[in-house]
């Protein structure tokens, strides 16, 4: 039994929520990047300049997320029968690579700054960093909540870009503080702090890359969700056994394929009705299920291949 396609309303709502959170991040990152880079140049802090560059990369990544969410919300068409949800996972992968590239590039420049003598950072840069840390942490929590609400790996990745930015700002704050407190001979402390921040950024990039690859490779989204779906199907009246249940995530929702077993004495119509009830129960409990395919088997189902003789 092929389940009917679901109304795209919830998909559009999820996309709208994700796009709004992403747009907030873009606006904040542009403002913070300019402030950090200018403050770093004036205040002789490469850690702050590196932090500003990382914020500019956040703007780029947020634009990628924005485009990915827009494409992912596009309804299915004749060339994409399962919709465009994988665009969201691809966007998350691009962001992961951007994080890794930023970590490598900033690490190289940090090493250069460590080997070259320069002025100690200016004290006012600490105040700039305190404001940045507060704003970025608030942004992380807001965007991460949105990512979990709409189950978007791209939005979650974008949230961790904000957290990475906050972490690099904390590292810069510590480095600048050391340079100012201990004075001559510790001018490069903020550069060492930037190097530590690069390692943290790289770690988050690798973690997010693994998650995006899992989505693209159709890894089972969550054992808990799978168990609940199996439980709902098995508890549906008329279902005597659940032979197969497969899940895959696409964008903001899930596609489900399952084989149920019903009394072999039932009519085709009755078996069909039970299958529809299974689909309805699942979609009622999980609004983010995009489509359900239910195949009906007689109980007990004997999975064997019948040999067919053929006369030439």
Q: Is residue 141 located within the same domain as residue 244?
A: no
Q: Is residue 113 located within the same domain as residue 247?
A: no
pTM beyond 0.85: the answer is: no
Q: Tell me which range, 98-112, 161-175, 258-272, is most confidently predicted by mean pLDDT.
A: 258-272
Q: Is residue 136 located within the same domain as residue 277?
A: no
2 lies in a domain?
no
196-205: per-residue pLDDT in tens? Answer: 878 877 887 8
Q: Is residue 66 located within the same domain as residue 167?
A: yes
Between 235 and 5, the higher pLDDT residue: 235
Long-range Cβ contact pairs of 114-118 (< 8 A, separation 24 or more): 114/188, 114/191, 114/192, 114/195, 117/187, 118/44, 118/46, 118/187, 118/188
pLDDT confidence bin for 262, thresholds 50/70/90: very high
Residue 185 DSSP code: T
100-132: per-residue pLDDT in tens? Answer: 887 888 788 778 877 776 666 778 888 888 998
70-92: per-residue pLDDT in tens? Answer: 787 777 788 888 878 788 788 88
300 pLDDT more than 70: yes
Q: Is residue 237 located within the same domain as residue 194?
A: no
The domain of 280 spans: 223-299
Q: Rounded distance, CA 157 to CA 178, Å?
A: 31
Q: Is residue 229 located within the same domain as residue 199?
A: no
pLDDT confidence bin for 5, thresholds 50/70/90: very low
The CATH number of residue 57's host domain is: 1.20.1510.10
Q: What is the pLDDT of residue 232?
A: 92
37-64: per-residue pLDDT in tens? Answer: 888 888 877 667 777 777 777 777 778 7
Q: Is residue 73 located within the same domain as residue 40?
A: yes
Q: Rounded distance, CA 92 to CA 215, Å?
A: 10
What are the φ/ψ torsions at residue 292 (nearest 5 degrees)?
-130, 130
The CATH number of residue 236's host domain is: 3.30.70.1350
- What is the mean pLDDT of the segment spanning 179-183? 80
Angle at the Cα of 195 from the Cα atoms of 135 and 206, rounded to 5 degrees? 75
Q: What is the pLDDT of residue 308?
A: 37
Q: What percent of the chain shows pLDDT beyond 70?
A: 89
- Name the least confident of 34-38, 106-110, 291-295: 106-110
3 lies in a domain?
no
163 lies in a domain?
yes
- What is the mean pLDDT of the segment spanning 262-273? 92
Tell me the two tokens of residue 303: 């999975």
- What is the mean pLDDT of the segment spanning 25-34? 85
């Amino acid at each position: 039994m092929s389940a009917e396609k679901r109304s795209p309303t919830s998909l559009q709502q999820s996309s709208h929520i994700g796009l709004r959170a992403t747009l907030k991040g873009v606006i904040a990152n542009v403002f913070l990047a300019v402030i950090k880079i200018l403050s770093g140049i004036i205040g002789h802090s490469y850690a702050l300049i590196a932090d500003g560059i990382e914020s500019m990369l956040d703007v780029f990544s947020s634009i990628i997320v924005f485009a990915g969410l827009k494409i992912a919300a596009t309804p299915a068409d004749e060339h994409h029968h399962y919709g465009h949800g994988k665009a969201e996972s691809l966007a998350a992968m691009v962001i992961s690579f951007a994080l890794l590239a930023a970590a490598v590039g900033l690490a190289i420049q940090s090493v250069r700054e460590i080997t070259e003598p320069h002025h100690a950072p200016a004290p006012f840069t600490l105040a700039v960093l305190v404001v940045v840390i507060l704003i970025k942490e608030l942004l992380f929590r807001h965007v991460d909540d949105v990512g979990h609400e709409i189950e978007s790996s791209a939005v979650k990745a974008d949230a961790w870009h904000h957290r990475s930015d906050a972490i690099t700002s904390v590292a810069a704050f510590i480095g600048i503080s050391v340079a100012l407190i201990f004075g001559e001979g510790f001018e490069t402390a903020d550069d060492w702090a930037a190097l530590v921040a690069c390692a943290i950024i790289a770690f988050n990039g690798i973690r997010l890359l693994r998650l995006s690859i899992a989505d693209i490779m159709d890894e089972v989204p969550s054992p808990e969700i799978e168990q609940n779906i199996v439980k709902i199907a098995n508890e549906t009246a008329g279902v005597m056994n659940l032979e197969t249940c497969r899940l895959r995530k696409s964008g903001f929702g899930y596609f489900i394929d399952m084989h149920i077993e019903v009394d072999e004495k039932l009519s085709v119509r009755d078996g069909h009705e039970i299958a529809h009830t299974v689909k309805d129960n699942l979609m009622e409990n999980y609004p983010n299920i995009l489509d359900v395919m239910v195949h009906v088997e007689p109980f007990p189902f004997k999975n064997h291949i019948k040999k067919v003789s053929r006369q030439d």
